[in-house]
Amino acid sequence: MPIERSKIHPSVKIWHPELVNIYDSEIGEGTKIASFVEIGGAKIGKNCKIEAFAFIPPGVTIGDNVFIGPHVVFTNDKYPKATGEWTKSPTIVCNGVSIGANSTILSGLTIGEKSMIGAGSVVCENVKPHHVMFGEKAVERGTIH
């Protein structure tokens, strides 16, 4: 699996570089990336931790100090289809966010600063800063102080 055409800070730790697929991306200093991660056309901030099997496609921007749990999937097309035009919908994950394992983040959303997404959530609406969201269709559950 290749690492191609990407700007990766020298302090980034990729645990098994031969077991990731990273292309056309930018990854900030101090970030740690586990095995079997795919990052393509995305921007990742400083001091993030991305766990195994995460999928981060083109159009996703992740801020600093963000945790991405194992098997987290971001999407980047609101109306995907097998043929025809593809419309990328940018997704923004602000600083200090934590996203639990097996969560799916639909495209075109903003996840606010220092919010938390519970494991297994399907996030289909914007998340306000400092809020907790979880569930099959993640809805606001409270605030973080």
* CATH number of the domain residue 75 falls in: 2.160.10.10
Report the relative pairing of strands 139-143 and 131-134 from DSSP bridges.
antiparallel
- What total of structural domains would you count in the chain? 1
Distance CA 18, CA 97 (A): 28
Q: What is the pLDDT of residues 29-62, one digit of tens each?
A: 999 999 999 999 999 999 999 999 999 999 999 9
pLDDT of residue 24: 97
Residues lower than pLDDT 70 in the chain: 1, 138-139
- Strand pairing partners for 98? 67, 116
What is the span of the domain harbouring residue 138? 3-143
pLDDT of residue 130: 97
